[in-house]
Amino acid sequence: MYVRADFLASAYRTNEIKADSQYKGKRLDVEGRVRRIAVILGKPVIILQGAGFGEDVQVALDPSAVDQASALKPGTSVVLNAACNGAGAVGGVLLSEGMFTPVEAMRQRYPSLFDKRGRRLGSRD
């Protein structure tokens, strides 16, 4: 299931129970801009910009994605496939087992997100 990071964060802020029923326990392709690349509690994490202060989406990375993450910079747009764990204790949304989703996989899974030439519709880049 495809979802933008800001929309996911907003859904959890608005109604956590409803958001859990839609997203928790599912693997999501989450698209967003990187706010920060960090190590939290010993785990590599990519923090995607959410809908506002304290509403970021934290994606704990699968070990196979760490090398790709080391090349990222804040502001880069990415799509990560990860398992949704629900709302965080201090706000935002937590996801785990994050891996980068290749553009070709996005084209196959979500053809309506691309034009006839294969370019991403609504891309902010």
119 in a domain, yes or no?
no
**Cβ count near 79 (within 10 Å):** 23
Q: Is residue 50 part of a domain?
A: yes
Question: Which position has the token pair 């496939």?
Answer: 81
**Range 55-76 average pLDDT:** 91
Give yes or no for a contact between 5 and 32, defined as CB atoms under 8 angstroms apart: yes
**Residues 62-83, mean pLDDT to the nearest whole number:** 91
Question: Tens digit of pLDDT for each residue in 25-36?
Answer: 999 999 999 999
Q: Per-residue pLDDT tens for 79-125?
A: 999 999 998 766 678 889 999 887 778 888 888 888 887 777 765 54
Total domain count, the chain: 1
CA 81, 125, 9 angle in degrees (round to 5)?
45
Q: Which is more confidently placed, 64 or 102?
A: 64
Q: How far apart are CA 103 and CA 38, in angstroms?
A: 24
- Report yes or no on 51 lying in a domain: yes
Q: What residue numbers bound the domain in which 105 lies?
A: 2-113
CATH number, residue 45:
2.40.50.140
